[in-house]
Amino acid sequence: MKGNLDRQTMYALMQVAQVTMQQHVDGLGLGVEVSIRNGKYDNYNCAGSITIELASVIDGTPMTTDAVKLCDYAEYLGLPPDVLGKEFTTSSGKTYKLTGYRPRNRTYPFLAVDTKTGKKMKLSEDLVLNYLG
């Protein structure tokens, strides 16, 4: 046996699978987003849930379910209605662009992209409301 799976290896494998699937799906021109979540692993295997989501089209703009939820919840959260895609810079100098909202995630409900690295992030409600609310 060559080795055991650990958390870091599992995440790397799932990231490679997600990127590869997204590239193939993008080639079909369907406007869908692939995500792999809920990863589990032990010493010999890993598993995750694959979600392939067709983007909703609102006013001619394709949007994921998370983006639609951000627009739907914006007023309730005290955010401007055009909050989707808004950028803000934190006190640490990082700039984020808001891409979605997951109301069931109580700790980090906001989804954003770090504009410098392109990395997808989950942000707390306090952080987002502090800069945009």
- 28-76 confidence digits (pLDDT tens): 877 777 887 777 777 777 788 888 877 666 665 667 888 889 999 999 9
Residue 1: inside a domain, yes or no? no
66 and 119 housed in the same domain: yes
11 and 25 housed in the same domain: yes
pTM confidence score: 0.64
35 and 91 housed in the same domain: no
13 and 30 housed in the same domain: yes
Q: Which residue shows structure tokens 């010999």?
A: 44
DSSP assignment letter at 90: -
34 and 78 housed in the same domain: no
Task: Please list the residues that pair with 110 across neighbouring strands.
Answer: 101, 123
Band of pLDDT at residue 26, cut at 50, 70 and 90: confident
* Each residue's pLDDT tens digit, 82-132: 899 999 999 999 999 999 999 999 999 999 999 999 888 999 999 999 998
- Cα 47 from chain centre: 19
d(Cα 81, Cα 9) in Å, to the nearest integer?
40
Domain count, the chain: 2
88 and 70 housed in the same domain: yes
